[in-house]
């Protein structure tokens, strides 16, 4: 765990918190409280405003503000005298983060972290922002000056503050349910194509990705472009996705030595990243690159998937099998220090023949491309061009580069590593389980399915008791009631895992989670999903899971899980709420597709009527059919199989009844809208049928 504050000095309340992010601030001179009854009661008792600071452990600018302000005794004095200071880990309380990011949006600013919001004792915001410098800078007021001004206003102009707070409360209420007053409508296949084409218009034609700098991967929107291509939207949609995936894989946003993707790049060409690595980014990108392999197999896709899975296994996996949340951007107090190189470091680590190839391959120069003459590794000269220029065979160059990369990786392992946030979040684990499960199928890697199953077993054993899903697991303790995204993400991951293992316990757990989510989060009046459990008492407004941001809304992953459950169980009731919700959100999805990418994926699957393939026959008999089907890009189809002769679980009774092998051969029953075609026994015929244009 990287600690932006000095480990010396007295420890405040945050030293007792499980969250690595909160513990990073344990030695600040600030009188920090965690969010909870003690802090909220103190604010009311002392009639002090609340200074709410929200961040996360891998956040670079959170560290900067901590060093500049929260470690300053003078700034801490201003904070302690005038405010009740509360630190929140946004990964533990996404509902609070969602609400109070709205303050910054209402002020006409972009959101982000650190989030700094000032609240009345009854939790109504009256001012906010993100990072504040110690002195007036970047067009922002210095933090000490802001503190003094707001304290004076609280003492001498409280009527104005209360008026501002009422306006913010009204605005937050409108933001929290934005779009839910639209008339329901039916989404069509033509809508999916139109949405994908509108996204494609925003793709950088040179470097891929959406827009300019800073540039984020946006995997769910790229995935939706592929859905539009599948529905006949034209080759430009696929080309835009592939250009993006290729440029990311060769750029600095991808860790060229250790695998895995950083959070985003600060430039338009994927070169210099913010170096933190988040589990949810790598989970979604793993899934997307596996789908790219189904669309058009390439060695680059395989390389990225294999290396990313290995990164997750090596750096982000708990001894019990579950996945950690994040890896920091900083080490030894410097952003990116662990990842960057100088020419002399490479020359010292490698024999001359290899170092010359590496320096040219990654264009490592004395001037560098990052701070202080260092270089972020990107593939500038591909191995084929390098071989031609050097008069060497491609096989020789590839062999030498592979050996050199391993040597440099080993050398890098001796450096001080970035801190790691070792929280285990049930929802984010669900996203990685989903990505690993698909990759296991596509690349025929049962060991990856076992890796996903180990994580699922951990989460189901430690964070789910059959009626309550906890959000976070830390230091042997499950904490905080799960939010909508936890139920949705984990349900989606478990349905994906069933299709990689055909172990029905994962499907049964997914259905139990979905049923419990309906009880906790579904608002029948608005036909929408609450973000936090109904009746949560510490929220100034009720929030709804609407937009898909860096990670998907729980409403979107829950809809995906429900559609797959319908296909895998034959229970039409699983489609009732996705149909209502997609109809409710249709206008927003069509008009603002970039904000609803994952919901678009669920809606697209819904169009195919709970499509599925049920395999019948012994394992060896269905293996060729299953292997062929797994290589096909058929993202709206869910796959089911059971061992012949084994008892049929009640959950699967409807789907397997009457579906038998044909003439002693394994058979595949392809179904849409709960109506099945004639069974197929030929693997190539099945692949062709799955690959046929949607709706054919």
List the end-to-end C-alpha distance of the chain, in Å, as a whole number.
53
Q: Is the pLDDT score of 343 beyond 70? A: yes
Determine the Cα–Cα distance for residues 564 and 575; give it in Å rounded to an integer: 9
pLDDT of residue 3: 43
Q: Is residue 448 classed exposed, middle or buried when 0-12, 13-18 and 19+ CB atoms within 10 A define those classes?
A: buried
Name the band, by pLDDT with cuts 50, 70 and 90, for residue 5: very low
Q: Is the pLDDT score of 8 beyond 60? A: no
CA dihedral (579, 583, 585, 590) in degrees, to 10, reads: 120
pLDDT in tens, 453-489: 999 999 999 999 999 999 999 989 999 999 999 999 9
- With a pLDDT cut of 90, the percent of the chain lying above it is 91
**Highest mean pLDDT: which of 99-113, 131-145, 168-182, 572-586?**
572-586
When mean pLDDT is compared across 464-473, 484-493, 503-512, 648-657, the lowest value belongs to: 648-657
Name the band, by pLDDT with cuts 50, 70 and 90, for residue 694: low
Helix axes 299-315, 279-295, angle to 10 degrees: 150
pLDDT of residue 1: 38
Q: How many residues does the chain have?
A: 696
pLDDT of residue 645: 82
pLDDT in tens, 56-67: 999 989 999 999
User: Which whole number is the average pLDDT over 182-186?
Assistant: 91
With b for 16 or more beta-carbon neighbours within 10 A and e for fewer, the 168-205 pattern comes to bbebbeebbbbbbeeeeeebebebbbebbbbbbeebbe
Q: Is the pLDDT score of 492 beyond 60? A: yes
The 8-class DSSP code of residue 642 comes to -
What rounded mean pLDDT belongs to the chain? 95
pLDDT in tens, 260-277: 999 999 999 999 999 999
Determine the Cα–Cα distance for residues 352 and 348; give it in Å rounded to an integer: 9
pLDDT of residue 60: 87
pLDDT of residue 177: 87
Q: Please compute Rg for the chain using Cα positions.
A: 26
Q: Are 440 and 446 in contact (CB under 8 A)?
A: yes
Determine the Cα–Cα distance for residues 261 and 285; give it in Å rounded to an integer: 8
User: Which whole number is the average pLDDT over 557-578?
Assistant: 97
User: Which whole number is the average pLDDT over 248-255?
Assistant: 98
Range 220-223, long-range pairs (CB < 8 A, 24+ positions): 220/284, 220/548, 220/552, 220/597, 220/598, 220/600, 220/601, 221/593, 221/594, 221/597, 222/288, 223/287, 223/288, 223/291, 223/597, 223/601, 223/635
pLDDT of residue 646: 82
Structure token pair of residue 273: 């990243």
Q: Are 594 and 588 in contact (CB under 8 A)?
A: no
pLDDT in tens, 326-341: 999 999 989 999 999 9
- How many C-beta neighbours within 10 Å does residue 389 have? 11
Q: Is the pLDDT score of 7 beyond 70? A: no
Q: Is the pLDDT score of 571 beyond 80? A: yes
Q: Is the pLDDT score of 444 beyond 60? A: yes
C-alpha angle 127-129-133 in degrees, rounded to nearest 5: 120
Determine the Cα–Cα distance for residues 653 and 666; give it in Å rounded to an integer: 19
Structure token pair of residue 119: 């609240």
Q: Is the pLDDT score of 6 beyond 50? A: no
pLDDT of residue 696: 60
pLDDT of residue 56: 95
pLDDT in tens, 68-96: 999 999 999 999 999 999 999 999 999 99
Q: Is the pLDDT score of 4 beyond 60? A: no
Backbone angles phi, psi at 672, to 5 degrees: -135, 140
pLDDT of residue 138: 77
Q: 3-state class of 538 per DSSP?
A: coil
Name the band, by pLDDT with cuts 50, 70 and 90, for residue 643: confident
Name the band, by pLDDT with cuts 50, 70 and 90, for residue 19: very high
C-alpha angle 274-279-280 in degrees, rounded to nearest 5: 95
């Amino acid at each position: 765990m990287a600690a932006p504050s000095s480990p010396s000095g007295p420890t405040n309340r945050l030293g007792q918190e499980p969250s690595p992010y909160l513990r990073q601030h344990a030695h600040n001179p600030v009188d920090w409280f965690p969010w909870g009854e003690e802090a909220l009661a103190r604010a009311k008792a002392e009639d002090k405003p609340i200074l709410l600071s929200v961040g996360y452990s891998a956040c670079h600018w959170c560290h900067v503000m901590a060093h500049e302000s929260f470690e300053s005794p003078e700034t801490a004095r201003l904070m302690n005298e005038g405010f009740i200071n509360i630190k929140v880990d946004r990964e533990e309380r996404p509902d609070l983060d969602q609400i109070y990011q709205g303050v910054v949006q209402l002020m006409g600013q972009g959101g982000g972290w650190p989030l700094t919001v000032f609240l009345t004792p009854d939790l109504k915001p009256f001012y906010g922002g993100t990072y504040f410098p110690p002195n007036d800078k970047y067009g922002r007021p210095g933090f000490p000056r802001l503190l003094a001004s707001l304290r004076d206003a609280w003492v001498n102009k409280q009527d104005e503050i209360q008026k501002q707070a009422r306006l913010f409360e009204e605005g937050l209420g409108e933001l929290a349910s934005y779009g839910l007053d639209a008339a329901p409508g039916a989404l069509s296949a033509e809508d999916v194509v139109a949405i994908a084409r509108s996204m494609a218009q925003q793709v950088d034609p040179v470097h891929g990705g959406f827009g300019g700098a800073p540039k984020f991967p946006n995997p769910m929107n790229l995935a939706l472009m592929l859905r539009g291509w599948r529905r006949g939207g034209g080759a430009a949609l696929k080309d835009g996705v592939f250009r993006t995936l290729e440029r990311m894989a060769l750029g600095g946003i991808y860790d060229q030595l250790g695998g895995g993707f950083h959070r985003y790049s600060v430039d338009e060409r994927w070169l210099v990243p913010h170096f933190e690595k988040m589990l949810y980014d790598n989970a979604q990108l793993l899934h997307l690159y596996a789908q790219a392999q189904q669309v058009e197999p390439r060695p680059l896709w395989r390389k990225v998937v294999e290396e990313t899975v290995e990164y997750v296994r090596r750096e982000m996996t708990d001894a019990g099998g579950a996945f950690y949340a994040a890896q920091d951007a900083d080490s030894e107090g410097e952003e990116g220090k662990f990842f960057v190189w100088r020419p002399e470091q490479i020359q010292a680590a490698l024999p001359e023949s290899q170092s010359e190839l590496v320096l040219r391959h990654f264009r490592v120069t004395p001037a560098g491309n990052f701070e202080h003459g260092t270089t972020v590794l990107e593939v500038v000269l591909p191995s084929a061009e390098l071989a031609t220029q050097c008069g060497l065979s491609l096989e020789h160059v590839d062999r030498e580069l592979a050996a050199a990369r391993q040597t440099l990786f080993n050398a890098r392992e001796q450096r001080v590593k970035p801190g790691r946030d070792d929280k285990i979040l049930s929802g984010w684990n669900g996203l990685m389980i989903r990505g690993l499960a698909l990759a296991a199928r596509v690349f025929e890697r049962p060991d990856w399915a076992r890796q996903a199953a180990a994580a699922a077993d951990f989460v189901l054993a430690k964070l789910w008791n059959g009626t309550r899903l906890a959000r976070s697991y830390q230091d042997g303790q499950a904490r905080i009631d799960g939010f909508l995204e936890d139920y949705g993400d984990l349900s989606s991951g478990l349905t994906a895992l069933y299709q990689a293992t055909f172990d029905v316990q994962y499907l049964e757990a997914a259905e139990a989670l979905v049923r419990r989510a309906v009880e906790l989060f579904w608002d029948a009046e608005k036909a929408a999903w609450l973000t936090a459990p109904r009746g949560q008492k510490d929220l100034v407004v009720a929030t709804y899971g609407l937009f898909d941001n860096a990670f998907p809304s729980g409403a979107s992953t829950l809809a995906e899980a429900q559609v797959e459950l319908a296909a895998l169980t034959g229970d039409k009731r699983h489609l009732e709420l996705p149909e209502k919700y997609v109809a409710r959100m249709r206008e927003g999805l069509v008009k603002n597709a970039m904000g609803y990418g994952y919901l678009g994926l669920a809606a697209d699957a819904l169009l195919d009527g709970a499509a599925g393939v049920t395999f019948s026959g012994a394992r060896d008999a269905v293996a060729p059919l299953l292997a062929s089907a797994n290589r096909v890009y058929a993202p709206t189809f869910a796959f089911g199989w059971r061992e012949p002769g084994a008892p049929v679980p009640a959950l699967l009774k409807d789907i397997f009844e009457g579906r038998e092998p044909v003439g002693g051969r394994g058979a595949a029953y392809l179904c849409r809208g709960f109506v099945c075609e004639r069974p197929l026994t030929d693997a190539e015929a099945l692949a062709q049928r799955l690959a046929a244009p949607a709706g054919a």
